[in-house]
Every structure is written in C-alpha cells, then in structure tokens.
Amino acid sequence: MKFCSTNKKSGLVSFKEAILKGIADDGGLFMPTEIPKLSKDFFNNISSLSFQEISYTVARVFLGDEIPSQTLKQIIDDAINFEAPLVEIDENIKVLELFHGPTLAFKDFGARFMARTMSYFREQSNHEATILVATSGDTGSAVANGFFNIEGIKVVLLYPSEKVSRIQEQQLTTLGGNISALEVEGTFDDCQRMVKEAFADKEITSKITLSSANSINIARLLPQSFYYFSAYFQLKDRSKSLIFSVPSGNFGNLTAGLIAYEMGLPVERFIAATNINDVFPVFLKTGIFNAKASIQTISNAMDVGNPSNLARIIFLYGNPQSIAEKIFSCSFSDAETKNGIKDLYSKSAYIIDPHGAVGYLALKDYISQTGLKSYNGIVLETAHPAKFPDIVEETLGVKINLPENLKSCLEKGKVAVKISNDVKELKKILLS
C-alpha cells in the first residue's frame, strides 16, 4: 500500500517512510492512496474473532506488504494487549471504553502500535531518532509510555504549563530514561506551532532525525480504526442503525472511524462532539473554516483551535456539504458537560469522564434532532474518569477510586524543563 500527501504535491511513499517522516514533504498529512473494502467473509465471521484478530485483519490491509505476517501479529498482540469493552447504558445507548490501556486513555492504542512498528522499521537503520510531541495531556503520556525504553528512540514532550491536570502532568514527567518533558509557558497551540517550526528548521533536521507521534502520524491513526470494528461486533443487534459519537479535538479518532467506514463498516452517521472549541461544527454549518486560539475547558484534551486532521477529512470528502452528510457536529459548554456527567450517572449509575460526557450530550442532541427511536448509539469514552477526579467528584459528590498504576505514578517526583513559547529555546535543547 502506498501513502500520499493530503496536499497532493509530493510523491507516494511506503508506510515505513510515512511513519518515519510524520509529515509529507509538501507539508500535508499522509493518507492511504486507496482504502480497500474488507471481505464479506470478514463481516460474516467476525463474531468468532478476538479483538487482536480483528485488529490484525485491518492492519494487514495497510501493512501486509511491508511487515511479515508473523511479525505484524506479534506487534498487534503486544500493542493491543488490553480490551475495549462495549458497556450497555440502555437499549439504544452504549459506551465503548477505550481507557483500559496503561495510561487510561484511548491514545494508548495509537502510541503503542506506533512505537512497535517504528521500532521494527528502525531495526533496519542505525541512527537514533528523536520523537517530538506536543501534548494537551493524554498524547504525551501515551507516547511516553509507548516508547519508554525502546532502543534507538528518544522522546521530547512539549506540554502547556498549568493547562494539564496534575495526574496528566505526573504521567508526563515521571518516566525518565529516554523520555524528556518540556513545560512550555504558553498554550497547546503554541506547543503544536513550535513542533511544526522545529520540523521546518533545516538546521535541526540536518543534525537530528526528527519524527512526530502526534495524531498526525499515520501510524497513530490506523490502529484507532480497530476498535470501531470491535465495537460493531460486540453489538447484540447489528441490524439497527449505527451511530458513533466521538469526543474530538484534533479529529484523529474521528478520522480513524471514517477509515473504518470506508473499509465497509456500516456506519449510518458519525458525530463530532466538541467542547466550546467549536471551529469544526461552525465549519460544517457555515462552510467557512476559521482557526482560533484554543480556549481552556474541563475536557482539556479537546482544547484545540486548529484541528490537524481536518486536512484528512477534507481529503476524504471534499467540501463541507459532503462532510456534513456523513458527520453531524455540535459543541457544549463546561456547564452542559457537568450536567451530562450528572444525567448519565442518575440514569444508569455510570461514571463518565468530561470528554466522554461531551460525546454523550452530542449523541442525545443528534437523537432529539432526528427523532430516531431505535438505534445503536455508541459513545467513545476516551479516558478513565479517575484521570479527572476533581471535576467528576465535585460534579457527582462521589469518590472515585484511583486505579493502581495511577496511584504509583502520583508518588513519583516530577522532572521537567521550563521553556518559553519561542522555538529558539526548543532548538537549543534539541541540538545540545
């Protein structure tokens, strides 16, 4: 399978080149040149397959010609070594729990898969690579965890000072080893801009091999399509119309769902749920895209004012009218989000985190607008509620138990270097 740039101005590359480069030479994002449909057999026999087998079938389509099947199987078994259970809220609404990995957020899927595929390709080369990542919280910890102790790869994380939760910061700054954390005096958008500037800096790229692990890297994106299939196969009644509500920031998770759909998954509608960082719903409504500075919210991993994967969605579907045929989008304030957490808890005693709550609200909004009576509405729960104890406990008045690996991480000492939001400082550190 070959990969092209969303800007269509640079040549086709292999998966290996795409993962190691991160961004195409023309500044675009990599996409598969074609998205083949999975066979009818796959869909007919799916109930007998494990999550790992489903994942392997999907991954083989894109990587089968570059990674031998036994190795690819091993990579998947090792990367996807936890489940994504579908929890039933009522007859129509389900929650897909994507937080059973080591850092308790869905980004573990992409980061663990990427670390292992990259390590496979790097075994064939002998220079060290530096992965540069801007994080609004969960990306960094998932990437740090995924790449921790992987030979020949260093990870440099940039996160916005005081704009991530204490737990997120502990997860980012306590691993040590091949992982370094930079605490940037600025916003997440500043961090993303600095990473882009570093990639565009000829002096930096001539001296070190830079790669990205943000959701722009195709190796992060593809494995996120696995659980859309697995969710479908966990449904009791697959005949009802299938709707996925995806709490969105950079729209990587949603784009992975679109890829699953293009591979034949019978999805009726996707819902892009955002917090008040609403450039995407505004884009669908007005046809005009205006990047904005991000605004801080209680669903902070979705505080993105210029979503990077929009380029991929436009690449797939073209204009906003065609995008809106496939994707419904709406946005919610923090007050509404807290009400969503309360509402779900009082209805079903399910504790959802603030990101998932935005997804839940968006699904309800879509249902009330369309008047659907019977459907499979799946809300992607992107993080464990224990990662946001202050908000969830205050909203519900209940105590959440911290999972063991969170507890131990909270006891470790933070190690981070504070820098300004000027790329010059980042450059000095990278070249030192």
Q: Is 105 in the site for ligand PLP (CB under 6 A)?
A: yes
Spatial CB neighbours of 357, under 8 Å, sequence gap ≥ 6: 299, 337, 338, 340, 341, 344
CA distance 363 to 343: 13
Q: Which is nearer to ligand PLP, 248 or 421 (CB)?
A: 248
Active site residue 364: no
The one among 181, 194, 267, 302 contacting ligand PLP by CB under 6 A = 302
Q: Does 396 bind ligand PLP (CB under 6 A)?
A: no
- Strand, coil or helix: 413: coil
Q: Decide if residue 251 touches ligand PLP (CB under 6 A).
A: yes
Q: How far apart are CA 280 and CA 284, in angstroms?
A: 6
Q: With the C-alpha atoms ordered 347, 226, 370, 372, is the resulting torsion angle positive or negative?
A: negative
Q: Which is nearer to ligand PLP, 265 or 302 (CB)?
A: 302
SS (H, E, C) 252-312: HHHHHHHHHHHCCCCCCEEEEEECCCCHHHHHHHHCCCCCCCCCCCCCHHHCCCCCCCHHH
* DSSP result, 113-150: HHHHHHHHHHTT--S-EEEEEE-SSHHHHHHHHHHTT-
* Residue 258 is a binding residue for ligand PLP (CB under 6 A): no
Q: Which of 383, 391, 406, 426 binds ligand PLP (CB under 6 A)?
A: 383
Least distance between ligand PLP and beta carbon 353 (Å): 7
What gap in Å lies between CA 131 and CA 153, rounded to an integer?
7
Of 108, 138, 189, 365, the residue at the interface with ligand PLP (CB under 6 A) is 138
Strands 153-160 and 129-134: parallel
Confirm or reject binding of residue 250 to ligand PLP (CB under 6 A). Answer: yes
Residue 345 sits at the vertex; the CA angle it makes with 344 and 346, to the nearest 5 degrees, is 95
- Tell me the C-alpha distance between 205 and 18, whole Å: 16
Give the interface segment with ligand PLP, choosing from 245-253, 261-269, 317-325, 329-337 (CB under 6 A). 245-253
CA proximity to 183, closest of 214, 157, 210: 157
> Minimum distance between the CB of residue 383 and ligand PLP, rounded to whole angstroms?
3
Q: How far is the CB of 201 from ligand PLP (least distance, A)?
A: 25
Residue 271 Cβ vs ligand PLP, minimum distance, rounded to whole Å: 12
CA angle 34, 38, 42 (to 5 degrees): 165
Least separation in angstroms between residue 360's CB and ligand PLP is 13
Q: How far apart are CA 188 and CA 134, in angstroms?
A: 7
Residue of 301, 311, 344, 406 that binds ligand PLP (CB under 6 A): 301
Q: Which is nearer to ligand PLP, 204 or 255 (CB)?
A: 255
Among 146, 186, 223, 247, binds ligand PLP (CB under 6 A): 247
- Taking CB under 6 A as the rule, does residue 117 contact ligand PLP? no
Closer of 19 and 72 to ligand PLP (Cβ): 19
Answer for the pair 105, 387: CB distance below 8 angstroms, yes or no: yes
Does residue 298 touch ligand PLP according to CB under 6 A? no
Give yes or no for residue 382 binding ligand PLP (CB under 6 A): yes
Residue 341: enclosing H or E segment and its boundaries? helix 334-348
SS3 of 24, please? Answer: coil
Give the one residue of 187, 248, 329, 421 binding ligand PLP; rule: CB under 6 A: 248
- Cβ distance to ligand PLP smaller for residue 392 or 430: 392
Does 192 interact with ligand PLP (rule: CB under 6 A)? no
Catalytic member of 16, 21, 94, 107: 107
Out of 215, 225, 331, 421, name the contact with ligand PLP by CB under 6 A. Answer: 215
Give the span between the Cα atoms of 109 and 114, in whole angstroms. 9
User: Segment near ligand PLP (CB under 6 A), from 29-37, 47-55, 243-251, 316-324?
Assistant: 243-251
- The partner residues of 157 in beta bridges, in order of sequence, read 133, 181
Nearer to ligand PLP, 13 or 105 (CB): 105
Under the binding rule (CB under 6 A), the answer on residue 340 touching ligand PLP is no
253 binds ligand PLP (CB under 6 A): yes
d(CA 210, CA 127): 11
Residues that bind ligand PLP (CB under 6 A): 105, 107, 138, 215, 247-253, 301-302, 355, 382-383
Active site residues: 107
